[in-house]
Structure 1
Amino acid sequence: MHHLDLLSRGSENLSYAAGPRVRLAVHEVQSPLEVHVQENQAALAHEESIIWTEDVDDFDYVRQSVVTNAGTRRRPVSWTGTGRRVGYAVLRGDAPSGDVPGHFTRRVFWVKEHDRSEQPDGTYKTTAPAEAVDPRTVAPGVWGEQTDRAWDAATGI
């Protein structure tokens, strides 16, 4: 058994000695969710409004995704994924394009055919998918949240 001694602690790395000839480096890492939020936080800064194409009162939750290749700041975001789009973010006219000129980062809200709104007694009767948010918590520049209502329809909230 080797004794680990702390050699140095930088802002990003931890370095340990594990015996006379062994050195281990341990890097601090962020969760995928933390990275996702940081990468897309800039997109929210340019949001002007949220357009719902269906009545949000019909949904305990919607799925929230970020697309990076929207060809417009304001018109509806085309949706080629599974399920159907029920809302999208509109950007201000001065919102910058992303890495590719003419492509913008925007949020899209959608549901799948097996979500609670479509099948109340189905898979998500008392749970919700990871990307689910309560549409009542969505606002321009604000990430939607997964509330008790979004998580569990049985609570009656």
Structure 2
Amino acid sequence: MCERMIPNYRFEDETRIIWLKDVTAFPYVRETTYSWSVGIDTSDPVDGWSRSGRVLGYSRGFTADRYIGRCRVWWVKPHDRSEDPRGPYRDSAPGEAVMVASIRAGRPSLVHPQFCCCCEQARAS
């Protein structure tokens, strides 16, 4: 398995994961980083989420930057396997897909095996 590395992301700043939905039955979730203005007092950093998709959870922690917050967000799109089992990802996974069981605060998630471009590269070397 390959870890999903996120350039310039400080995993060590995360202290916990907040789940908005039980994701244990999901075949995968998408993982993305999200930034927001800390100057605006929000109880939930994903209040301003504007992508098409449903947010399932996010990480919380501390940031050295007083003005910009950054977290990982786990989400699904309407055509993901959990939402549409016969859709385009019935036998595969999108590039952002990570294994739900691998999600931990402070640690990179594991890339879903059905999206294995980095895993194939690792095996070849």
Relative to the length of structure 2, the TM-score reads: 0.76
Task: Give the counterpart letter for 2:24 in structure 1.
Answer: D
The alignment status of 1:54 with 2:21, answered yes or no, reads yes
* Structure with greater strand percent: 1
Task: Give the counterpart letter for 2:83 in structure 1.
Answer: E
Show structure 2 runs of 5+ residues with no match.
116-125
Which position in structure 1 is the counterpart of 2:44? 75
Which of residues 77, 80, 83 in structure 2 aligns to 1:115?
80
Q: Across the two proteins, how many residue pairs are aligned to each other?
A: 109
Which position in structure 1 is the counterpart of 2:96? 131
3-state secondary structure, aligned to 2:8: helix
* Alpha-carbon offset, residue 115 of structure 1: 0.1
Q: 1:139-154, aligned counterparts within 5 Å?
A: 139-148=104-113, 151=114
* Alpha-carbon offset, residue 96 of structure 1: 1.6
Indicate how the Cα distance of structure 1 residues 141 and 74 shifts in structure 2: closer, same or farther if over 3 A, else same: farther
Task: Give the counterpart letter for 2:31 in structure 1.
Answer: Q
Q: Take 1:53 and 1:136, find their aligned partners in 2: how far apart are those partners?
A: 16
Show structure 1 runs of 5+ residues with no match.
1-33, 153-157
C-alpha root-mean-square deviation of aligned residues, in Å? Answer: 2.4
* Structure with greater helix percent: 1
Task: State the Cα deviation string for residues 115-157 of structure 1 (Å, max 9, x = none).
Answer: 0000111110110000000111010111211244xx28xxxxx
Q: 1:74-93, aligned counterparts within 5 Å?
A: 75-78=44-47, 79-92=49-62
Task: State the Cα deviation string for residues 29-63 of structure 1 (Å, max 9, x = none).
Answer: xxxxx9x72322x2x11100011111112311000
Indicate how the Cα distance of structure 1 residues 38 and 67 shifts in structure 2: closer, same or farther if over 3 A, else same: same
Q: Take 2:37 and 2:112, find their aligned partners in 1: how far apart are those partners?
A: 28
How high is the sequence identity, in percent, across the aligned residues? 33
* Alpha-carbon offset, residue 104 of structure 1: 0.8
Larger RCO (CA under 8 A, 6+ residues apart): 2
* Alpha-carbon offset, residue 74 of structure 1: 6.7
